[in-house]
Structure 1
């Protein structure tokens, strides 16, 4: 999914993204956490993730905080006003990373395979649209 990073001066949205690759949490469990925050304000999403009981909430929270910091850096480079309370998580998704395959001995000389799955977590934040929005 390729997106352009453009400035707000042309009337298009400035976006910032962050990703964490090879995170040692299964994609299924990470998707449950990402579904909690998709579409929320970024500051609200960080507070939701800080108190979420799932183990995958820590790496997802770090990615959201990194995306906010990336938006701050982009705003500083283009000399734009920046308020992190205006940021909304426009896109958040989890892709499956490489699987580490391990074996465990079983009865009668057999072996059972254990899959240790990894995830690639990506979060994109954009400023909230103020044209006719109800948020």
Structure 2
């Protein structure tokens, strides 16, 4: 019955593929917005000085618009103000192989890295719905854990006393 009461939280995502930057540089900006509310994440990215910040801002806005569009099309009740950044990932894309001239007619190869940026937003659970659904399960779970905790602590106490008794004996033998 608990599974029926819990609603599935919808996730909305947006991708920007083949961006001309290394995934490592994109992750520096993405780590700033992980877990933040959407409004705060947009402000953070907007005022970031990194070169990838405008691209990531565009992807984040696209994910928000995807949430808005899907909620209207499917008739879902999604509160855009209650969204947060669930995941923000920069995966490695294909590498472009390039050649740089080197001394004495040689050529050195180097690689230009590309990144696939994926941002996922989800709606936070409302605390009233969670507490009402789990209220019936919490008291039974607490009773079971308290009995187990009492037996575990009773079993651990003598082991600690024995270990403490052995240490001074070992020190006396060493002297």
Q: Which residue of 2 aligns with 1:122?
A: 118
Which residue of the other structure, out of 33, 39, 46, is the alignment partner of 2:42? 46
Q: Which has the larger radius of gyration?
A: 2
The two structures have a TM-score, normalised by structure 1, of: 0.86
| Number of matched pairs | 125
TM-score by length of 2: 0.67
How far did 1:42 drift? 1.1
CA RMSD of aligned residues (A): 1.8
Q: Which runs of 4+ in 1 moved over 6 A?
A: none
Higher strand fraction (1 or 2): 1
Judging by fraction of residues, say which structure has more helix.
Answer: 2
**1:15 shift after superposition:** 1.3
Larger relative contact order (Cα-Cα within 8 Å, sequence gap ≥ 6): 1
Q: Give secondary structure in 2 for the equivalent of 1:80.
A: coil
Is 1:106 paired with 2:121?
Answer: no
- Structure 1 segment 25-40 matched on structure 2, within 5 A: 25-40=21-36
Q: Can you give the 5+ residue segments of structure 2 that lack an aligned partner in the other structure?
A: 131-175
1:19 counterpart = 2:8: no
